[in-house]
Amino acid sequence: MSLAKMARRVGQVARDIGDTVRAAFRGKVTLVVSSEPVQRIQLSGLADEMLQDLEHLQEFGFTSCPPEGTEAVVIPLGGDTSHGVIVATEHGSFRIKNLKPGETAIYSNEGAKIVIKKGRIIEADCDVYKVNCKSYQVNASLGAEFDTPNLSATQQVTAAGQINGNGGMAIQGGSGTSFTGNVNMAGDLKTTGALTNNGKDVGSNHKHFETNGAQTGDVI
């Protein structure tokens, strides 16, 4: 057999093998099963072919459940479509656009997002932000600011430094209020209860002893 004829035969064999080995292709997600150890996806492929139970391989520590209509890239292992795995997904309708070089974002199809921006800024945007942990620590060397109409705690609040307020203070319930140290006040002090000093009544009903031993009348 001549070299030319052998080359033609080898070329034909290669083409025949290529016809049976499928290359990577694209499709659209129609259904996701996210309850199994490896996520499985139903995919609409070329010419409306429906592919079942394709494995969706994701990076360790990161996972998502792509919504219907998400585009996916499938790699048929060994060229066999039935052994295909999804290695990438994208949905242009929800992807955060106009990021600057080096910026990164996590987002959902409802618009919740975390964007790591230039300038070492991390911005979160959502309706409800929940943190579940045993201990929550924040180290803010310049300060922390809350722009909110109400900041509440279900248990004790302790401050190691001074507490400043500009809108007044209202305290109720518990076992009362106690102070240790000097109290400096500018303004009037009003109370509807007893006022004592070292166990003695100095309120509106207190009396004094006169030099003859008699008591004075009530405070006017």
Residue 104, H or E segment: strand 104-107
The pLDDT assigned to 17 comes to: 45
Of the candidates 208, 178, 205, 181, the residue with the CA atom closest to the CA atom of residue 193: 205
Residues with Cβ within 8 Å of 186's Cβ and at least 6 positions away in sequence, in order, are none
Regions of the chain where pLDDT drops below 50: 13, 17, 20, 220
Distance, in Å, from the CA atom of 109 to the CA atom of 113, rounded to the nearest integer, reads 9
How confident is the model over 71-116, as pLDDT tens digits?
Answer: 999 999 888 877 889 999 999 999 999 999 999 999 999 999 999 9
Would you state the torsion angle of the CA atoms of residues 197, 200, 203, 207, taken in this order, to the nearest 10 degrees? -140
Where are the domains positioned within the chain?
3-90, 94-130
Of the candidates 3, 62, 63, 67, the residue with the CA atom closest to the CA atom of residue 32: 67
The pLDDT assigned to 176 comes to: 76
Of the candidates 121, 118, 130, 97, the residue with the CA atom closest to the CA atom of residue 107: 97
The pLDDT assigned to 116 comes to: 98
User: What's this model's pTM, rounded to 2 decimal places?
Assistant: 0.74
Assigned CATH topology for domain 3-90 = OB fold (Dihydrolipoamide Acetyltransferase, E2P) (2.40.50)
Phi, psi of 25 (to 5 degrees): -145, 170
DSSP string for residues in 25-58 = EEEEEEEEE-SSSS-EEEEE-GGG-EEEEEEE--
The pLDDT assigned to 93 comes to: 95
Q: Which two tokens stand for residue 198?
A: 């070292």
The pLDDT assigned to 81 comes to: 79
The pLDDT assigned to 5 comes to: 62
The pLDDT assigned to 3 comes to: 57
The pLDDT assigned to 125 comes to: 98
